[in-house]
Amino acid sequence: MAFGITSITLITVDILNRLEKKNKKKRCLSADTRVCLKGFGIFLFGFAIAQLFNEVLKNAVGRLRPHFFDVCRPNVFFINCSEGYITNYTCTNREHSATILRNIRQSFPSGHAVFSMFTAMYLALYIQIRLNISYSLILKPTFQAGLLLLSLLCSASRITDHMHHCSDVIAGLILGFIVACAVFYSLGTKYLNNHNGDSICSSDDIEENSVPASKECQIPLQLLHEKSKCTRLKSKTLTSSSLIV
């Protein structure tokens, strides 16, 4: 869903900008396409950074998920609770694979919270800097609020499904928020700024406006040229008449 929502959002922003520039008779279509591709590339880079932090923390902390006992069903008859933390146990549930049994010891932080908040925050910042429309004042904040709401709903579902503790989700949201801001303000503000596109637009507009002006000036120039011919002919006529006299 993160990749799908990101692709749809970037394309939507590009289309809205094209419509806005079409109404203003600007030509920046190729520049907008390049910026859109750069935005998706920066998103992939940030997604990889978030994945790296998430995997390192999950394997380093090794916190048990809320449904650990239901999935593992450890043999409690051979566990001595007086020893404190139990590190040696045997799962008696054979219905699940080794991957699932390893996954139940990777609760902190919530990967869904990390990726959903990273996606929502990155796209909210992208919309803030890239979407420029004059016909609606609430469209931009509506998009941003909707993305953040989807992230919070996805994160909250991990608590209601008993897949994560509340602290796991909060830590994931904070981590995703930090990674999104760090990646965007280090790369996004440099490569996705509207000033680059505006400079291209202004140069195109100058060229476009200069062509009609030259065409309009062709008629007055022809008239001036004809007038100069008439003046020269008159001067020659006056000179010949004076010689005759």
- Cis peptide bond N-terminal to 141, omega within 30: no
> Could you give the CA distance from residue 153 to residue 162 in angstroms, rounded to a whole number?
14
Tell the residue number behind the tokens 């004042």, with chain if given. 137
Q: Extract the runs of DSSP E, i.e. beta strands, from 167-219.
A: none
| Type of residue at 192 | L
Residues belonging to the active site: 112, 164
As a dihedral over the C-alpha atoms of residue 117, residue 120, residue 126, residue 130, rounded to 10 degrees, the angle is -160
Kindly state the DSSP code that residue 74 receives in the 8-state scheme: B
Secondary structure E strands in the chain: none
Give the 3-state secondary structure of residue 106: coil
Interaxial angle between packed helices 29-61 and 194-244, expressed in degrees from 0 to 180 and rounded to the nearest 10: 170
Cβ-Cβ contacts under 8 Å for 2 (sequence gap 6 or more): 47, 115, 116, 118, 119
